[in-house]
Chain A
Amino acid sequence: MPFPLSSALRGAVLLAAPLFCAFPALAQTEYPLHLSNCGVDLTFDAAPVRTVTVGQAATEILYALDLGDRVLGTSVWFSAVLPQFETVNAGVPRLADNDPSFESVVALRPDLVAVQYEWHIGPQGSVGTRDQFADLGIPTYTLPSDCEGKDNSVGSDGTRLAPYSIESLYQGIDELARIFDVPERGAALLDDLRAREEAAIDAARALDLGDASAVFWFSSAEMDIDPYVAGQGGAPAYMMEALGLRNIIDSNEEWPVVGWETIARANPTVIVLARMDRRRFEADDVERKLDFLRTDPVASQMDAVRHNRIVVLDAHGMDPSIRNIDALETLSAALAGLDLQ
């Protein structure tokens, strides 16, 4: 199976590799591998060959590590798979679009379940607890981005104790690469992501954004109702911080509900809209969000709307995932195109 990343990436890997010798495991993984993952101690005697993924971010990290041939089934999809993984994904059965049942996962006799969110598999997991899988001898690996600095026993989506750090994503990539005994692929992927992150940040910093501010609008349960916007806790906050935009939302939650009144008063410089395939709320549709901004008597008065400083980003890029870097690049490039003076 061909390496799915571009040749440019491979070039970058070759150039950057010597700089990151400090990375712990460029050599072969030594088994048994001991690992502490989200409060659970894991031991692997060999690289897994039968993996089930619960969560698109986990699935796409495995694809990015060229491990598609070791994935037996996927579940919890938020949007279409990234284009570069379409071929590999087409060969992998999808257990469920949303939550798979415990038994459908177990039935595949996996030797690893890779999990994006603890609310699927975790202390109160809707699919099951990690203990339930462990009892059957099935190890579960949860992406650190959902547990590092996060308390999932509080609030329905968990509560971030510390703002999301992109490093927790990188940690997940590194650990998965070690678990699967492909440390060199992990290093290559990380080098690529870090290089792209840095480039996007440099480009935005060069714009001299001053006191520019932003709001990320994810969706709303009803069209006119108080929207879900990015708080200080999640990936959008990291992006804004990294690119030098002030988040007008103070809340420490990841996706708090904040009134349009407050948003309009704060009058952000830029509005970022989430684009998604999901159609559960009317406001899931980015066109409907744009309609609202243009027609609502108050929202339409915001500077960002009047000067059309609106950026559309992939919604899944706003959740902790390798798409964060895509989103960061898109946003950075879009900022360059806006008249921000």
Chain B
Amino acid sequence: MTRRAALVALTLPVLPRVGLGAVLLALAVLAGVIVGETALPLRLVGDVLAVKLWGAERALDPIDAGILWSYRLPRTLVAAACGAGLALSGVVLQALVRNALADPYLLGVSAGAGAGAVSVALLGIGGGAIGLSAGAFGGATAAFVLVALLARAAGGGPAQLVLAGIAGSQLFNALTSFLIAKSANAEQARGLMFWLLGNLSGVRWPDVTMALPVVGAGFLVCLAHVRPLDAFSFGSGAAAALGIAVRRVQLVLIAAVTLMTATLVSLVGSIGFVGLVIPHAVRLLVGPRHARLVPASALAGAIFLIAADIASRVLIPGQVVPIGVVTALVGAPGFALILIRNRRRA
């Protein structure tokens, strides 16, 4: 009885906030769907949803309806998943390695993805049958395994993980540079760079069915570990003293983060700054406790990346700016502001 009462007491005050979050997210998705290279009327959203979800009969322009349903909606949903996943990964890694500069790409995942994609494109691995995505996923996983083994061999602490991540990233970035220098011409290099900087234009429904479940699962894993994550505030020794099975928790969380990041990088390239800046910004708003930080960062990351994607589509008419450029343009000054504010507080 007391347990149930406690559960109710816990969930009731949270409900309005969950509701508010859902409304904000829905508004962001709506904006992502109607704003773009070409303007779509708001009315079309209702019509298309009525036809697609309830099988209503409406006369729709096939191209407009297709753009909305097959391009914009999956793109916006994946942007949301991607923003949430990267922000969550940032939160988790910053807590686990106790380093404010930790970001989802810390463990070499993004460098590995780049090297994997470039290998596929330039070495002809897979003879054109394997897309860049598959190459990126393979590279990301390989890089992470290498980094993890290296960190383990070096002693296994958070500092070792960070150093191994740096070494792994350097190695894989060098490999990418080597491959590009060896065999790419400018046009290909440009294509690869464009892709590596992050690109949501190729997102379709199958990507949604990859991104949403992976990020959803990752979110649940993080949510289930908010107390362990708090317990890491004073280091892994203190966490262990608080009853946290440190090894297992690290393993589960890092696996979740790697899976999320590798999947997202392979779907849309490595979009920077979200995983670094969003957790810090959200900490300023809701504090360092992970029970709030985890859901708030996921929400903020999702909304931020939808907004960045909209900006990337409308900034230069008729042309799409790589979304990684937009996030960096917003993220770098944002990060500077956070640093300055933190200094004032300290």
Contacts and interface: CB of A to CB of B under 8 A. Distances in A.
Chain A directly contacts chain B within the complex, with at least one CB pair under 8 Å: yes
Interface of A: 76, 98-99, 119, 156-157, 219-226, 228, 250-251, 255-262, 264-265, 267, 279-282, 284-285, 288, 296-298, 301-302
Contacts of A258: 318-320
Contacts of B191: 219, 221, 228, 281
A98 B184 CA distance: 8
A280 B188 contact: yes
A282 B318 contact: no
Nearest to A97: B183
A301 B66 contact: yes
B124 to A, nearest CB: 6
A281 B190 CA distance: 13
Given A221-B195, A226-B201, A257-B320, A157 B187 contact: yes
A265 B63 contact: yes
Given A226-B202, A265-B67, A280-B188, A301 B128 contact: no
Contacts of A265: 38, 63, 67
B194 interface: yes
Contact of A282 (B62, B131, B188, B313): B131
A242 to B, nearest CB: 24
A237 to B, nearest CB: 15
A223 B131 contact: yes
Contacts, number: 109
Given A98-B183, A225-B195, A264 B63 contact: yes
Interface in B271-323: 313, 318-320
Given A99-B185, A250-B318, A251-B318, A280 B124 contact: yes
Given A262-B318, A298-B71, 11 more contacts: A157-B186, A221-B192, A221-B194, A222-B199, A257-B194, A258-B318, A259-B313, A260-B201, A279-B124, A280-B122, A285-B128
A228 B36 CA distance: 19
A259 B201 contact: yes
7 contacts: A157-B190, A219-B191, A225-B201, A226-B202, A279-B128, A280-B128, A298-B67
B204 interface: yes
Given A259-B37, A262-B37, A298 B189 contact: no
A293 to B, nearest CB: 13
Looking at chain A's contact residues, the main secondary structure is: loop
A98 to B, nearest CB: 6
Contact of A281 (B72, B121, B204, B318): B121
Interface of B: 36-38, 62-63, 66-67, 69-72, 121-122, 124, 127-129, 131-133, 183-192, 194-195, 199, 201-204, 313, 318-320
Contacts of B133: 222
A228 B70 CA distance: 20
Contacts of B188: 280
Contact of A301 (B37, B63, B190, B319): B63
A99 B63 CA distance: 43
B13 to A, nearest CB: 43
B318 A222 contact: no
A291 B66 CA distance: 17
Nearest to A78: B185
Contacts of A250: 318
Given A221-B192, A223-B131, A225-B195, A256 B319 contact: yes
A259 B320 contact: yes
A225 B199 contact: yes
Contacts of A255: 187
Contacts of B189: 156
A250 B203 CA distance: 24
A160 B37 CA distance: 24
A225 B268 CA distance: 10
Contacts of B70: 296-298
Nearest to A303: B63
B63 A298 contact: yes
B127 A279 contact: yes
A224 B185 contact: no
A251 B317 CA distance: 10
Nearest 7 interchain pairs by C-beta: A225-B202, A298-B66, A224-B202, A226-B201, A297-B70, A279-B128, A221-B191
A311 B115 CA distance: 35
A261 B38 contact: yes
Contacts of A281: 121, 128, 132, 191
Nearest to B204: A224
A102 to B, nearest CB: 13
A224 B74 CA distance: 12
Contact of B128 (A224, A225, A262, A284): A284
Contacts of B199: 221-222, 225-226
A99 B180 CA distance: 11
Given A257-B194, A259-B37, A261-B71, A251 B319 contact: yes
Given A221-B194, A282-B128, A261 B67 contact: yes
Contacts of B194: 221, 257
A224 B203 CA distance: 7
A119 B188 CA distance: 13
